[in-house]
């Protein structure tokens, strides 16, 4: 199934073309999410010739430049839920990449596994090759990288079928693991939020609940612990408890993440956790984290604001990964890359300042700033 155009809903039809931090796919199933508006340049969903799995590439916008966004491999209740996730995530990537100022548009790919799908090494490789074939049909307008459920080594397999892939292992001449860059960007964002709330960016004695200890969450937790923060951490993988002990964090059950009092809630796993019910009782002062789309509904930003909870938009604070990939690919020196990563805090400060000045939520302010940049690029292309 391939759809092109704007503001047309993707029907729940059968597929007709033949040719989606964590890699343990035996865990949770991604919940069903509402179908977003169709504002994408192109979306293609196929059944992989080799793997038989449902694979979607969603190109939201290439107005600023070729789209960049990772490949997610995860379990969904139905195949259409994988398509929905790709639509939502690719939209957010347009905003993220615009604010990151890396000359890239937004896109995402999803390899959707059903609740009972078994993926051994052979089928995993087959799915990644199928993904490479699909990406190749986008003629360079979309580039992929690792994301939830995939790794930098998986990108080597995708590279066998297309050159439009970034984030290869450093040992293979690529940018390597981007998680450290993402963690640094979230860390400086947390400092700005704490300064906004408490008139000091010091994290000593400030309390944080971190939900998710994958590649980014664990690195962020380590940084916060070293800064003197009090940490309550959890993950669906019980084996992460040993890591929590090693950094002096208090382990809590996954179901307690949204009910444990703290200064800041840090969503660092899958998205959609901030439902209306969760927001109604969330016992924190702020939400800042690397998870994509933590709000189950966009209106959640308004609900958080009504409760006096400061929400730092995910696509602002978690842009470190794409900055790392883009600048490393350009051959930028390490010092320049770190400076750009630390600049994420400045971008967030600009967003929070605009939100105060306009009397809107930080989410609305960030969206407006990003879309202004996209429209300016689109208008420039039309004039050119």
CB of 369 within 8 A of CB of 99? yes
Please indicate whether residue 358 is annotated as part of the active site.
Answer: no
User: Residue 175 and residue 324: Cα distance in Å, rounded?
Assistant: 7
How far apart CA 36 and CA 7 sit, in angstroms, is: 10
Residue 102, SS3 per DSSP: coil
Q: How far is CA 217 from the centre of its chain?
A: 12
Q: What is the largest CA-CA distance in the chain?
A: 58
Instruction: State the Cα–Cα distance between residues 125 and 277, nearest whole angstrom.
Output: 40
Q: What does the chain come to in residues?
A: 384
Continuous segment of H or E residues that includes residue 364 = helix 362-383
Catalytic residue among 96, 108, 240, 358: 108
Q: Residues 67, 121: contact at Cβ < 8 Å? A: no
- Per-residue tokens: 324: 């790392």
Helix (H, G, I), strand (E, B) or coil at 87: helix
CB 8, CB 38: distance < 8 Å: yes
Gap between the Cα atoms of 223 and 240, Å rounded: 17
Catalytic center residues: 108
């Amino acid at each position: 199934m391939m759809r092109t155009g704007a503001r047309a809903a993707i029907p729940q039809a059968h597929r007709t073309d033949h040719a989606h931090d964590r890699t343990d796919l035996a865990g949770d199933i991604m919940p069903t999410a509402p179908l977003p508006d169709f504002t994408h340049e192109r979306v293609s969903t196929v059944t992989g010739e080799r793997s038989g799995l449902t694979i979607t590439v969603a190109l939201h916008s290439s107005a600023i430049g070729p789209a960049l966004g990772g490949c997610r491999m995860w379990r969904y209740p139905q195949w259409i839920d994988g398509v929905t996730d790709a639509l939502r995530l690719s939209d957010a990537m347009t905003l993220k990449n615009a604010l990151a100022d890396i000359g890239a548009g937004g896109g995402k790919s999803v390899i959707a596994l059903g609740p009972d799908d078994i993926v051994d090494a052979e089928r995993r490789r087959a799915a990644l090759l199928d993904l490479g074939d699909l990406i190749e049909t986008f003629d360079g307008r979309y580039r992929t990288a690792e994301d939830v459920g995939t790794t930098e080594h998986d990108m080597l397999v995708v590279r066998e079928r297309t050159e439009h892939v970034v984030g290869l292992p450093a040992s293979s001449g690529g940018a390597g693991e981007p998680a450290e860059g993402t963690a640094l960007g979230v860390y400086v964002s947390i400092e700005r939020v704490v300064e906004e709330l408490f008139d000091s960016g010091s994290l000593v004695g400030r309390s944080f609940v971190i939900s998710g200890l994958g590649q980014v969450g664990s690195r962020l937790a380590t940084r916060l612990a070293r800064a003197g923060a009090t940490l309550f951490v959890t993950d669906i993988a019980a084996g992460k408890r040993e890591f929590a002990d090693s950094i002096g964090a208090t382990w809590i059950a996954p179901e307690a993440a949204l009910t444990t009092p703290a200064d800041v809630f840090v969503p660092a796993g899958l998205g959609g956790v901030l439902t209306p019910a969760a927001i109604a009782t969330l016992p924190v002062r702020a939400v800042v984290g690397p998870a994509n789309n933590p709000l189950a509904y966009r209106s959640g930003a308004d609900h958080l604001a009504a409760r006096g909870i400061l929400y730092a938009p995910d696509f602002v604070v978690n842009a470190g990964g794409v900055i790392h990939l883009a600048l490393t690919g350009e051959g930028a020196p390490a010092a320049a890359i770190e400076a750009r990563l630390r600049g994420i805090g400045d971008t967030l400060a600009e967003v929070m300042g605009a939100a105060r000045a306009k009397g809107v939520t930080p989410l609305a302010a960030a969206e407006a700033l990003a879309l202004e940049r996209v429209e300016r690029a689109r208008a420039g292309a039309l004039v050119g």
